[in-house]
Amino acid sequence: MFRQSTIDFLTDNAKRYGDLVHYGAGNRKIFQFNHPELIQELLVNDEPRNRRGIVMQRSRFILGDGLLTSEEPLHMRQRRMAAPAFHRQRIAAYGEVISQYSAEMIDRWQPGPLDLHPEMLLLALRIVGKCLFDTDAQAEVKKIAAAVDAFMGFLPLVFLPFSKQIEKLPFGPMEKIRKGGVDLDAIIYGMIAERRKSPGDRGDLLSMLLEATDVEENPEALQDSPAAQKPAAHMTDKQVRDECLTVMLAGHETTANGLSFALWMLAKHPEAQEEVHQEAVRVLGARAPVADDFPRLRYTYMAFAETMRLYPPVWVIGRSCGPEPYDFRGFTMPAGAIFIAPQIVVQRDPRFWPNPEKFDPRRFAEENRSSEGRPVRPKFAYYPFGAGSRQCIGEGLAWMEGVFVLATILRNWRVRPAPGLPEELPMSPLISLRPKHGVPLVLERR
């Protein structure tokens, strides 16, 4: 089911049947939401009625109960404890790491053909490793990459009959997933043990998770107790592991895919690529970008945003109805029903995006607003980072990473498609949207 044809299937559903589509897959009842107002109701208004989607539910056997997979009230508690690592001041400091690692990458490049998808995966993995765990993950990259590849192949298994039983069987795909989990556990638990021996804030997520406390877990402690005396709950090693693993996998895979698609689109549109280059030269000169440069690299931001519209790494959001059915605009949503809100459909809907297949970064220009200053389209016509309490906690870091990496690359290099490639880049819609056969481009030094 989850192949390129899946995107065509979801798109055709919206065109033929409208804004809310109901169909079945085996004994599962599925509702597809294709309009921004309905998506807002699903992801925000009705959030308390729903649970994580089936893929995230089944992913717990690898990810545990991290931010992607946990339910309330655990999820909100975890989010509070992890949030300081993604505050504006922290992200500003992460900008130096992004710039340094991007420069190191392009310094080893040579003119000629190069598949940029593995390059972006390695770069994003190093960045997330350093910013969030204060470690250079390059030494472990092969193990982590193999684990990610195995995990991405897990999605089709979720929809097979008896999928829970399949998880326990000793056959190829599941063995790879389990081996990846063992390798990742060894890496992460090793980091946790080392930090427990020498605690302290190194300015990364791991430090904060180990030091984080949550007095709200013990509400009885809040009564008649001075703040300094309130008992505080710390995360166990298992809880820290679940959060680290979630951030490591989700935080590098999605950003790397977004950057890969962005470089492809800019290679296909040399005039837009030239604008990014000229902006980077004007704003940065020969120096590395710093946090204060982010708002000044406006066109680069728009190019990345437009890529995320056309090729959203999180291409569909899933939810499932909780144990109680409820009414949704006259329809009864049965307990356990699957809900899907596909960005890949809504963000290409011509009702909200004129000439939607065209790559046009200026859609995201500030002047593209109504006379009252409001956006010209509904809020949920564009939601590449999700919505509600589940909105990606690392969104700010992802934007900075995308903009700084593109500016660094295209200031120094020109990219163009390798000869003989198809007009459209084949996509692989798994847990995230990946380029199916990589991103083979030709590099020319400027």
Q: Which residues are 28's β-sheet partners? A: 25
Which residue matches tokens 């959060």?
243
Measured distance CA(201)–CA(205) in Å, rounded: 9
- Tokens describing residue 237: 């090693």
- Residue 321 annotated as binding? no
CB-facing half-sphere around the CA of 435: CA atoms within 13 A? 27
User: Which of 413, 411, 405, 408 lies closest to 278, judged by CA?
Assistant: 411
Specify the pairing of strand 427-429 against strand 433-435. antiparallel
Q: Cβ distance 260 to 304 under 8 Å? A: no
Instruction: Tell me how many degrees the CA angle 363-271-103 measures, rounded to the nearest 5.
Output: 95
Provide the 10 A C-beta neighbour count for residue 444: 11
297: three-class secondary structure by DSSP:
coil
Structure tokens at 32: 């597809």
Q: What b/e readout covers 320-349, taking b as 16+ CB neighbours within 10 angstroms?
A: bbbeeeeebeeeebeeebbbbbbbbbbbbb
168 burial level (CB within 10 Å; 0-12, 13-18, 19+): exposed
What is the C-alpha to C-alpha distance for residues 374 and 361, in angstroms, rounded to an integer?
A: 19
Residue at 89: amino acid letter = Q
Contacts of residue 328, defined as CB under 8 A and 6 or more positions apart, other chains included, come to: 41, 46
Question: What phi, psi does 54 have (nearest 5°)?
Answer: -60, -35
List, as one string, the DSSP characters of 382-418.
--TT--GGGS-TTHHHHHHHHHHHHHHHHHHEEEEEP
Residue 121 CA to residue 125 CA, distance in Å, equals 6
DSSP label at residue 436: B
Give, in order, the Cα–Cα distances in Å from 70 to each of 57, 214, 230, 371: 8, 17, 26, 42
Tokens of 39: 């998506």
Binding site feature residues for heme: 392
List residues forming the annotated binding site. 392
